[in-house]
Structure 1
């Protein structure tokens, strides 16, 4: 199944980074289609018959009874990480075995949420059974566990429910074994104190988003299904995994910083979905471009994704500054200066597709529109001068790549 090519109007709306009903619908549709394709590939690649066939049948039955509840389990971000990893292992003759048994947990979670009668025998790992979107079961005895429609009770001491953040639409996922990849240091199960801290910071971040940019707050609610806490050892403030569409990884941090992370990472998720379905350029992965927000050279894809997320962030800080947020003008000037110096490289790129050209031109138009409300006191000019000094220094350090920056 392939989505029809988006219209230039939808591409322009997405390229501007401004939320739109059409853009959100396209992103959600792409994510849904990709997830269903991935599950179908797992189904076709895994050995037929046995327990797997029973699990698929239960998932199909749950979908017939409650399509919305089943879709939430299937579309849950961690399900995508499991599906991609399982498919990769099924196609690799050597290496760790694929966790096909997790399909039973998906099916059982869908059946529980659909409210249908069922029986399923599953094998907990390490004495725990994860039911996606619901939480963990801790059986009193080792060995296979027989599940029925009465097996899940959030109030049972043997259950650890998935923590819901205060908005009611987003989960704080510190349980699912597939909530992050092996290279991402996700935090372990938080304490009640840790959950309370996240509730406070999340509520504060949403309050700021709604105050400064109500449309982005609504977009965040529609596109973000889960937040995965990063471990304390992580140096990153936030991140996204393309396989975990609809999820953001983030450190616990004060509300102003968390709100900015959400703006930034939601854009990464939007562009990952769009470019995965509709290539915006034909460039290779060679790291040759200067990105002011990083020290290392970036491929064109990395430059585009970084510029896109920072463009949204510059707009957010501009709105926050107009509300009088402390330090917002400085943030806006610095980040806009980064984007402004990169956009000519993107606009002048000969490897953009037709859709990519529309998208990047819309980015450039959105950046130019910021001239209507400039920071006071010449702050933007000062920021541009600082970025230019950084560019000259970087080119001196990377003379073979100097031609890929703006001169």
Structure 2
């Protein structure tokens, strides 16, 4: 393990979902250790990853790192670099299937060298007329064939260059360029138009304004933990998502600022929990889908129930703060989500597969939910929400009679 096991205090801080310096430090440390471990494993793998052009690219990365470790770290720890590293390792290990894209290592090295400001010469082969430089953008050379790169190759003002779009906060990129920005069945949007970027700018600015107004600490946490947002295509059913390999990235659809703010709160929690699970096992359960998750119709494995409860607990807290600020409809959102979390937490707490650390974590979630009693919603909104959740539970148990014991109650 390249990072220390989290203390009970850090587990409790993370379990509450509330932002904390200790929790943020752990998440960032785990992500960094995981990424460096992947790259080290990739470099040490026998075969093409260590010889020929790959050796030249590794050498350029090392040279750039000596000049400017921070700049090179930005490239190596960029979310899409993680997706590439995991996919490349899998393909190099496999005897059959698609070939590994080792050419992209050269693009990573070139981006690092450009960011570090060192002199270099490198020849790369653009794919489909485009050469992506992670964290910078892409080059669209006006001729086919290999492209000779030097320290003067990147000029955002040059027509052949297309810079990565920076969102208005200046800390987060909107990545619609990198071929490794998403993976698997995730439908990332294709490169957006200028109008599409402007629409994102408006929605992002509005979402951050709401986050900062209602929950300053969560707004700051999102700024610390997010490197980029990847737009989802219009055909995607999901409003947001995260990829464990793309730590520091959130997938999101265009949506009104209030919904986007909630999506960011929700997905940042998924990223935090994914990092924690890499640092310490929280349970020993298998992937059997048998639990009722009030926010979904399909049975979920214990891991899915835990992930959902954690993200929804944070949302309940966010909407409570928004309601106290006077946001329209926030009390109803808080009451509904809290009622869902309140019936899931006893199921988690009673799970025998929780590890010692997992029990500390879940107990902290339970305490955080109970603390919301200090400021209940007005009228009978909480009772109405609980009654609605109980109706949902009865319907789910009727549809899944063999799994009724895993629905609590």
> TM-score when scaled to structure 1?
0.99
Return the alpha-carbon distance in structure 2 between the equivalents of residues 305 and 243 of structure 1.
16
Q: Pick one of 121, 139, 144 that aligns with 1:119.
A: 121
Within a 5 Å distance, the mapping from 1:272-311 to structure 2 comes to 272-311=274-313
Is 1:154 equivalent to 2:156 in the alignment? yes
SS in structure 2 of the partner of residue 90 of structure 1: helix
Encode CA deviations 1:303-348: one digit per residue, 9 max, x unaligned.
0000000000000000000011010000000000010000000111
Task: Give structure 2 stretches of 5+ with no counterpart.
Answer: none
Query: Is residue 2:324 matched to residue 1:322?
Result: yes
The 5 A counterparts of 1:88-127 are 88-127=90-129
Deviation at 1:24, TM superposition (A): 0.1
Work out the CA distance in 1 between the residues paired with 2:59 and 2:115: 16
Q: 1:5 matched to which residue of 2?
A: 5
CA contact (8 A) 2:240 2:253 kept: yes
CA shift at 1:298, angstroms?
Answer: 0.3
Aligned partners of 2:76, 2:279: CA distance in 1, in Å? Answer: 19
TM-superposition CA deviations, 1:102-155 (whole Å, max 9, x none): 000000000000000111111100010000000010111111111000000000
Is 1:265 the counterpart of 2:267 in the alignment?
yes
Q: Helix, strand or coil: the match of 2:86?
A: helix
Q: Distance in 1 between matches of 2:51 and 2:241?
A: 38
CA distance in 1, matches of 2:339, 2:184: 35
Aligned residue in 1 for 2:58: 56
Over aligned residue pairs, what C-alpha RMSD do you find? 0.7
Conservation of the 8 A alpha-carbon contact between 2:6 and 2:279: no
Which segments of structure 1 move beyond 6 Å, counting only runs of 4 or more?
none
Q: 1:5 offset after TM fit, Å? A: 1.1
Match of 1:44 in 2: 44
Could you tell me which of 371, 380, 385 is aligned with 2:373? 371
Please give the per-residue CA displacement for 1:366-392, whole angstroms capped at 9, x wherever unaligned.
000000000001101110011011101
- Aligned pairs, number: 407
SS at match of 1:376: coil
Where 1:12 maps in the other structure, the secondary structure is helix
Aligned to 2:385: 383
Provide the C-alpha distance between the structure 2 equivalents of 1:44 and 1:295, rounded to a whole number of angstroms.
45
Report Cα offsets for 1:59-96 as digits up to 9, x if no partner: 01111111111001000000011011101100111111
TM-score, normalised via structure 2 length: 0.99
Distance 1:172 1:28 in 2: 20
Deviation at 1:173, TM superposition (A): 0.2
